[in-house]
Amino acid sequence: MADNILELRNVSKEYDGKVILKGISLNIHEGEFLTILGPSGCGKTTLLRLVAGFEKPNNGQILFNGKDLIKIPIHKRQVNTIFQSYALFPHLNVFDNIAYGLKLKKMNKDKIKKEVTKALNLVKLEGFEDKDINDLSGGQKQRVAVARALVLNPKILLLDEPFAALDLKLRQQMQLELKKIQREVDITFIFITHDQEEAFTMSDRVVVMNNGQIQQIGSSQEIYNEPENK
């Protein structure tokens, strides 16, 4: 059994008196591809935002390698997020988008070039360094977003419905590519989706959520064969 990289202990979150998450407890293993599956409004994106540090829970603990994650500032967390909107900088080319976080860390230019080239190779965008972001297809933008997140060598990558804007064929292609990338970099991916087929295609384990609570946790096969929310 892999070690737990992230532990949520009885985590709750409210907005304006409305309970969004109700006592969530979950262990996430090092190097696993975990998908949180559920309908819109079930609390899955809020859960991701708590791990990323964009929000704080009202109750409970979030532990990263046994340490209280809530006390670690966002920029010091070994966690990166990919959003549905990609959140790329339209005024920067592909290279500068990917290099942005490395430049903030004051990394030297030669090392930045090496790391960006490695990230582009990983997402199959060799030779795209000078391309204008606005000239890229949706799938290419998504690859740039993945490269920009992974170039910082996070321990956990959070992905919030990253393929929602893509057409079905491209979504299916990106699902397979993302799983291959995850195996190659061997870090923990936490993927958010409302799409059952997407969850089952990529995941080592699936967490089924509804109404702010976890309904079921298991492998894709276990949840497909014995769903608890029939």
Indicate if 108 and 11 belong to the same structural domain. Answer: no
The pair of structure tokens assigned to 15 is 């907005």
Q: Is residue 114 part of a domain?
A: yes
pLDDT of residue 77: 87
2 and 53 share one domain: yes
Task: Please check whether residues 72 and 184 belong to one and the same domain.
Answer: yes
**DSSP category for residue 93:** B
Tens of pLDDT, residue by residue over 44-62, are: 999 999 999 999 999 999 9
Domain membership flag for residue 171 = no
Give yes or no: residues 23 and 130 share one domain.
no
Look at the pTM and tell me if it is higher than 0.85.
Answer: yes
Task: Say how far apart CA 188 and CA 79 lie, in whole Å.
Answer: 10
Encode pLDDT of 75-134 as tens digits. Answer: 888 999 998 777 899 999 999 999 999 998 888 999 999 999 999 999 999 999 999 999
- How many domains would you assign to the chain? 2
What's the rounded Cα separation, in Å, for the pair 169 and 142?
14
For 65: left if phi > 0, alpha if psi spans -120 to 50, otherwise beta; the answer is left
Kindly state the average pLDDT of the residues 137-141: 89
- Is 218 exposed, middle or buried, given 0-12, 13-18 or 19+ CB atoms closer than 10 A? middle
Residue 169 lies in a domain: no
pLDDT grade for 2, boundaries at 50, 70 and 90? low
- The DSSP bridge pattern shows strands 59-64 and 33-37 to be unpaired
Q: Are residues 53 and 158 both part of a single domain? A: yes
pLDDT, tens digit (0-9, with 9 covering 90-100), for 208-219: 999 999 999 999
* Region for residue 40 given its phi and psi (left: phi exceeds 0; alpha: psi -120 to 50; beta: otherwise): beta
What's 50's domain CATH number?
3.40.50.300
Average pLDDT score over the chain? 92
CA 153 vs CA 1, 123, 180: distances in Å:
23, 14, 17
Domain that holds residue 5: 1-76+154-163+180-229
